[in-house]
Amino acid sequence: MPDTALVAATRELIGEEAVKLIEILSEKDETTDDELIQKTGMKLNNLRKILYQLFDQNLVSYRRVRDKEAGWFKYYWKINPTGLNILLNTKKRKILSKLKDRLEYETTNIFFMCPTHNTRYTFDEAMEINFQCPECGNRLDNVQNDDIVAVLKIKISEIEKNLAESS
């Protein structure tokens, strides 16, 4: 049975047909195109398209051997055990970058909110609308975002620690 994180990543990135291939590939060390076609009933072009998508995501690898009788290349596919970690770490770095951007936004702005509509405005936005809600006319209240900043710092720290451990 394949790693559940690998199945989830494959499903999200490529789809159900690719999950079927991952499940078959996890049964053996290596599997040929012919074996995969027999087990899935897929057409060769579609099979290779999905395999190359998996390869592009670093989830599978292959080796190529020339068949001496036919002169064709035979491909032996297998799951790339380190590929999932590379993929997950790449995603974590993207999330980390977005969290850091959001932390900067939260720490460099002062916020105001309409008590009725819960619409949040930066100081500059609130100033442009005269500190009144454009929908109901209520006065905008100053809002502390300490809780948001604290959560962002915790999440950033968790991801940084996780990335350091997996390096």
119 and 77 inside one domain? no
CA distance 70 to 72: 5
Please state, as a whole number, how many other Cβ atoms lie within 10 Å of the Cβ of residue 47. 19
The domain that holds 64 is classified in CATH as 1.10.10.10
If you average pLDDT over residues 115-143, what whole number do you get? 94
> What's the pLDDT band for 101 if we cut at 50, 70, 90?
very high
Can you give the pLDDT at residue 167?
Answer: 66
pLDDT tens for residues 36-78?
999 999 998 999 999 999 999 889 999 999 988 888 888 999 9
Q: Is 118 left (phi over 0), alpha (psi -120 to 50) or beta?
A: left
Per the prediction, the chain carries an average pLDDT of: 91
The Cα–Cα gap between 93 and 69 comes to 48
pLDDT of residue 39: 92
Task: Tell me the β-bridge partners of 31.
Answer: 77
- In terms of Cβ atoms closer than 10 Å to its own Cβ (0-12, 13-18, 19+), residue 54 is buried
**What average pLDDT does the segment 81-104 reach?**
91
- Average the pLDDT over 80-109 and give the result: 92
Q: Distance between CA 41 and CA 58 in Å, rounded?
A: 24
Q: Within this chain, do residues 102 and 75 fall inside the same structural domain, yes or no?
A: no
Is residue 130's pLDDT more than 70?
yes
Q: Are 130 and 60 in contact (CB under 8 A)?
A: no
> Which pLDDT value is given to residue 166?
76
pLDDT in tens, 137-147: 999 999 999 99
Query: 101 with 151, same domain?
Result: yes
Report the number of secondary-structure helices (H) and strands (E) in the chain.
Answer: 7, 6
Q: Which domain holds residue 69?
A: 4-81
- Give the highest mean pLDDT range of 13-22, 62-71, 82-91, 98-107: 98-107
Q: Burial, 80: exposed, middle or buried (Cβ in 10 Å; 0-12, 13-18, 19+)?
A: buried
Q: What is the domain count for the chain?
A: 2
Give the per-residue pLDDT at 83. 84
Do 156 and 136 share a structural domain? yes
pTM comes to: 0.68
- Check whether residue 74 and residue 93 sit in a common domain: no
Q: Reply yes or no on whether the pLDDT at 1 is more than 60.
A: no
Q: Are 15 and 42 in contact (CB under 8 A)?
A: no
Is-contact 50 18, C-beta < 8 A? yes
pLDDT at 2 over 60: no
